[in-house]
Structure 1
């Protein structure tokens, strides 16, 4: 594989705490939760009636005609991708070769709300009422395909589908394609819009969601002894990745360097993580090895930490195994404490937060950590924490159902 360096030149977000990058970052640094009660009529019958709904309705931001032709997951993806594209200075870029621009945009579930709403129409009103756009709206690669169409990205349009590791895997895929010389620019990220009664009931019945009926903003509590499951969220994160050579040639601003990525599988259980964290340990170790990173240089981790009892402990073991004695010098956080869990969009949103932490030299806090689990021996930021100056490295971890593990190492500039 080529030794080309890959850099981040654009960022975009729409999330439960903000409709763009500035508002989302401000909320994360200041510890504001986006978890709120569900107001839909159908929520009254569910065992869980809270979620991290998007702070800004994407349909109100996009052109009305296009928005009506897209599932909500695609709408969220398009909002984030458009912001990242503009942020990278590509909206008015001259001479950009679409044959050298790719898309790697993930989804964990795809257009599930379109699928289920059209099935309801089929049952209630017959086959003629099913939308002719249902298939292109519900397919998991719809966000990637529509991003490709919108920005003329013709190198490739790929969709990793690896449950909650999908967004981070899209970044890994994008890096590989650039290093292999198949693209100069890749719009990478992930999106999810799965707040629907079927999904909530299914996650709740498998004991994955928190059923805490306290103040919604306090329910997502990674590493706390009172944690009892994650909170479902929705949104999208997008990053423009480029070869360093291409970015410098066009005078682009560079946020961070993508040093390395590791992708592994547990082969342990369809839903539960390996309690010893062996697969995730290998993913983190591969990311560090690929990037030539000394563990002593890692100063920040945006952890997967969903607020589930087993997963949070396993990730602590992974960090101790890979960073050794240096783990005590690392500021660890879980932004899911504020956003909830965006499933296939989680890794992408958290990658944006990781890059911003490097740029601003500050770690967002983990909120709701009142009583840290003694089984998790990590330095977890409960208020915004300054990161050191100089060349430092930050990790973004994502782990998903099916045993998917992805770690990405970002370096400061």
Structure 2
């Protein structure tokens, strides 16, 4: 059978490989002129440094299956994401940990005393946080919230923190030791040759035809089934209106040597228009001594316009209402399934995308084997 897969990111590549290795023909297409979607990496023409073209991507997971899968297609070097932050003219380490607390408050607290100190700062009257701000006040109190989260969050999301769900902050840890590893996951690393090479290796099997620079709307062929990883509202030509996204703009700079001494520096103060600076030679510490020059990017967040690359689904009340309408519309279709970050309108880390794609492959095998219909969704996108 011949299938069409829209989108050459992890979701599309994994599905394409699975179907092709099971004897099917696959047309894998993307309207952009490169593989790997927003994970795309390439060598900077001027400096030779491996650059994450759409912002930093650090692979981290607790899912052994996802970790084992990606390692089949490239060497992953050890990499720990250690984020620094500037607030009111001083540099701190994130996520909030014992060093951050002691630096910020001018203390020398141990873990037990620091826990009690922050507990005394926290607003204990907030039992069920209703929004981002209440979650922050209940976790860390007003001083740390204002210093590290209030201005940064307004820049990143374009909303008051009182308008954002509490769940956004729940993903960020607060530690009462000196562990500054941004992620808690046991498996963390960076692909030695970049993410695009991983995607290239995943789809390097017979039976896959790749067409880049081709929008799905331009395809006139028919297929046994379409797997769509593009924006779900676009598939329906925005019939019910557009879903909201945040997008990113990047301002590129070059310099001699080492600009900031770390991969990522957050700028928490609202008066600074950009959210962070990423210096990409630090994402590949095993090779940074090769380069005499450096390249870094200031990152600006704003509401996505129709021609922009969509990054972060907003998923506030109006968007959720519209999403539910699109979900119902999708379930009325036959011959198409939606998956991935854009297809399900969810914020997904790379490892979750990979896990869901692998699970979708499992479901497809069972359904095809029993002659059942392939569903519109493999997970609940609501």
The structure in which a higher percent of residues are helix is: 1
Shared fold, TM over 0.5: no
User: Looking at CA atoms only, which structure, 1 or 2, has the larger radius of gyration?
Assistant: 2
TM-score scaled by length of structure 2 = 0.24
TM-score scaled by length of structure 1 = 0.23
